[in-house]
Amino acid sequence: MSAPLAERLRPKKLDEYIGQEHILGKNKPLRTAIEANLVPSMILWGPPGTGKTTLALLIAEATKRQFHQLNAVSSGVKELREVIARASGLFPPIVFIDEIHRYNKSQQDSLLAAVEKGQITLIGATTENPSFELNSAVLSRCQVYILEAFGEKELKELTDRALREDVILKEKNIQIESYDALMRVSGGDGRKLLNLLELITFSFPPDASIIINDDLVEEVAQRNIARYDKSGEQHYDIISAFIKSIRGSDPNAALYWMARMIVAGEDPEFIARRMLILASEDIGNANPTAVIMANNCMQAVKVIGYPECRIILSQTAIYLATSPKSNASYVAIEAAIALAEKTSHLQVPLALRNAPTKLMKQIGYGKNYQYSHNYEGNFAKQNFLPDELKGTKIYEPSNNARENEIRKQLQSWWAEWYGY
């Protein structure tokens, strides 16, 4: 049985490598390092099928180094130590660890000494954001190179090379009428593209003429499942796009990103929970009903679940996106926390302290406190901050109808002290 097309087509020399021109083009940093045989330990971060393993193999070939490959799923500290112990030669061997983000902290720590002493050149491959998944100590010793998903140009080049150079496909009568579905279904994943191309080819008799068009690709692929990993970076990228669309008052974009999450099977409670946070952080007192709406949505989603809860999620997203916006509450609490961290030594004014015992009353606890409800309008002007912070304004209402009313009320109470 022959190897898969992606393996058969794997380039043997760096010049045959497709894509990633931003790091491998002429005079680009990684290309220069490889040509000078000064390859640093590195993390290759990018989506699936962007050539991380291939690049590691080509670096070893170009620099004539020993190459040891481990997979973080099936290897541990024992295997790492065995590889490090075998290190020899003029240049340190390349130790390639696929899915390095799956190593736990102790496993990652076991790499540090060998990398720092130059016993090995580490090349780790990951689809996850290294800043989230890798120890800071490992990251500080490695250069991070970002590999980008293949664009249309690279995918077409990969397809044409497969038909032109692969020992099996070049013997067949294959014509490509349209690339659109191939590009769409592969989603920037070169391996997925080649697997799909091979699947299409093998769905025909050996001597058949094959015309690849969009209908054929869709039929063979059946349906393009959204590329979305609920535990990976795509998860965070899409929820980020969703939240930013609501914040930016675009219900159309918000519904699109929500739909991406729904069709991928995202937990509806996660979507609802993030909208509840947004309702306070980005809308706040510009529309106090928003947080009530979002909270009711979260409770309803818990009771109903998919598929019906998609309607409630949609209604809430539209409501929040079209609501007036204010981040004044968020800015205020951040400012308050920053101030509190700097001034935690300041004492509570005596007037604001409770005096449950006789001694406390004797030393002034609660003295001169003015009970607001005893005064006209339920308001008595007095200092509620530590004396050193009197008049420090933390909350600044935003410029919207509801908070402009709040500003007027604050002006009537505190214009002299806080400058409203």
Domain range summary for the chain, segments of one domain joined by +:
19-146, 152-221, 233-321, 349-418
Structural element, H or E, at residue 298: helix 289-304
Confidence of residue 2 (pLDDT cuts 50, 70, 90): low
Mean pLDDT of 12-35: 92
- Position 204 confidence tier, pLDDT thresholds 50, 70, 90: confident
Quote the CA–CA distance of 213 and 175 in Å, as a whole number: 9
DSSP string, 370-408: --GGGSGGG------S-GGGTT-------SSHHHHHHHH
CATH of span 19-146 = 3.40.50.300
CATH class of the structural domain 233-321: mainly alpha
Chain segment 349-404, per-residue pLDDT in tens: 999 999 888 888 888 899 999 999 999 999 999 999 999 999 999 999 999 999 99
Give the closest residue to 316 by CA, choosing from 383, 251, 219: 251
The pLDDT of 142-171, averaged and rounded, is 92
Is residue 309 pLDDT above 70, yes or no? yes
How much is the pLDDT for 105?
84
Lowest average pLDDT, out of 14-18, 100-104, 220-224, 393-397, goes to 220-224
Structure tokens at 230: 């609920």
Strand order in the sheet with 42-45: 67-71, 94-98, 121-126, 42-45, 143-146
Task: Name the band, by pLDDT with cuts 50, 70 and 90, for residue 229.
Answer: low
Q: How confident is the model at residue 227 (pLDDT cuts 50, 70, 90)?
A: low
pTM greater than the 0.75 cutoff: no
* Helix pair 251-263, 233-247: axis angle to 10 deg: 160
The pLDDT value given to residue 90 = 75
For residue 131, give the nearest of 274, 283, 233 by alpha carbon.
233
CA–CA separation, 217 and 201 (whole Å): 10
Radius of gyration of the chain (CA): 31
Give the residue-averaged pLDDT of 314-320.
97
Rounded Cα distance, 65 and 57, in Å: 10
Judged by DSSP in three states, 143 sits in strand
Question: String of b and e for 196-235 (b: at least 16 CB within 10 Å)?
Answer: bbbebbeeeeeeeebebbeebbeebbeeeebbbeeebbbb
pLDDT, residue 225, reads: 46
Q: Is the pLDDT of residue 73 over 90?
A: no
> Per-residue confidence at 79, pLDDT binned at 50, 70, 90?
confident
DSSP calls for 98-138: ETGGGS-HHHHHHHHHHHHTTS-EEEEEESS-HHHHS-HHH
pLDDT band for position 84 (cuts 50, 70, 90): confident
Residue at token pair 């496993």: 107
CATH level 2 (architecture), domain 152-221: Orthogonal Bundle (1.10)
In this prediction, residue 233 carries a pLDDT of 59
Give the whole-angstrom CA distance, residue 226 versus residue 197.
Answer: 19
Instruction: Report yes or no: 281 and 294 within 8 Å, Cβ to Cβ.
Output: no
pLDDT band at 231 (very low <50, low <70, confident <90, very high): low
**What pLDDT is attached to residue 222?**
66
Q: Is the model's pLDDT at 223 over the cut of 60?
A: no
pLDDT digits (tens, 9 = 90+) for 93-118: 999 999 999 888 888 888 888 898 88
Q: Can you tell me the distance from the alpha carbon of 282 to that of 331, in angstroms, rounded to the nearest whole number? A: 10
Q: Write down the number of H helices and E strands in the chain.
A: 20, 7
Please check the confidence at residue 88 and state whether its pLDDT lies above 60: yes
Question: Which class for 347: exposed (0-12), middle (13-18), buried (19 or more C-beta within 10 A)?
Answer: exposed
19 pLDDT band, cuts 50/70/90, is very high
| Tens digit of each residue's pLDDT (9 = 90 or more) over 159-185 | 999 999 998 898 889 999 999 888 888
In the predicted structure, residue 124 carries a pLDDT above the cut 90: yes
Closest CA to 226 of 198, 185, 191: 185
